[in-house]
Structure 1
Amino acid sequence: MKVAKANADEILKKSIEDILREIENELNTKMKDINDSLFSTPREPPHIHFNKHDSYKFETPDDTGTGSNFKGMIVYDLAVLLCTALLALAHDSLLFKNLEKDIEDGLIKIYDITNKKVFIAYDKQGDYRAETRERIERNARIILSTDGCELYGMSWNKEENKTNEDELQQTLETID
């Protein structure tokens, strides 16, 4: 019985390793494709390596800069989105702050042409190049700003809105 259990454990371990290598290869191939589309000359793509079922290493070899790290995370997220049954992805404008304009343009173009849903929060649209700004504006679904155009129609950090926030919280509690 002990031998059978040891054999079963070894088969399971090997199966997990094989599955992780397959996932790793698919993600790394997709990340290379995405990364290559962002540059006119080849640059190192982000790379993931699964050490075990509960351990991995993710990096862009030879580039530990902030912009590269954020680009790597976005490229990884896109690879997961495009290689799986996931339907949507969300990114915050913070991820774009340290990216080169060409990379930013390329990522927005990828978001635009994918058949899946991509939600981004962005600000300072005036900082984008014309083509990228047009893509964002064409695909925008919610545009928020000050003076009554905030989400739910008010700025929550203004003192005069504190009463409204308390009333909303009470309303939500009665719904539960």
Structure 2
Amino acid sequence: GWWSNAYHLIFATNDIIAGMEDNTNLSLEDQARFKGEALFVRAYMHSLLVALYGDIPYITTTNYATNNTVSRMPLKEVYEHILADLTESVDLLSNDTTDEKVVPDQSTAKALLARIYLYTENWALAESTASKLIDSFNLEPEVQNVFLKESKETIWQFKPNGISDHNTYEANEFVIQFVP
């Protein structure tokens, strides 16, 4: 189920990316933001899948005929796709985020980019990307406020939905209850 749900979300992000091509209804700023956010989510979901399953297909289209014939790719190739998506995402996104930090922004993409550099053993880029990101944030002076939604150290967080018994809607998908 988790595999299917993850690829369903990836399909949706690919649809958003395709929808930004030659779009005349949105401003260029909105197109860049939506595409950058979708690229981040696509990379993030693939990074979760690769962490769980190893070699996986990296899906970049909504073409069902193409998607029905994909096969697992070697880890190195999957990580290359993740890095490409995140690099483009960083270029497209800004740091003009909401106070709640519930929408991925440039800092969110940089944080995941640093992590993927670490996973691919690109130590120099992992260190420089993480260091620049860390230097751009102020530490929370009060330790009791570090894990609160208003924390100055927060990069990205999920918003509680107030409906289900889970803390957030995303907890249904991102908090893995059973290991395959």
TM more than 0.5? no
Larger Cα-atom Rg? 1
Structure 2-normalised TM-score? 0.32
Structure with the higher fraction of residues in strand conformation: 1
Structure 1-normalised TM-score? 0.33
User: Does 1 or 2 have the higher relative contact order (CA < 8 Å, sep 6+)?
Assistant: 2
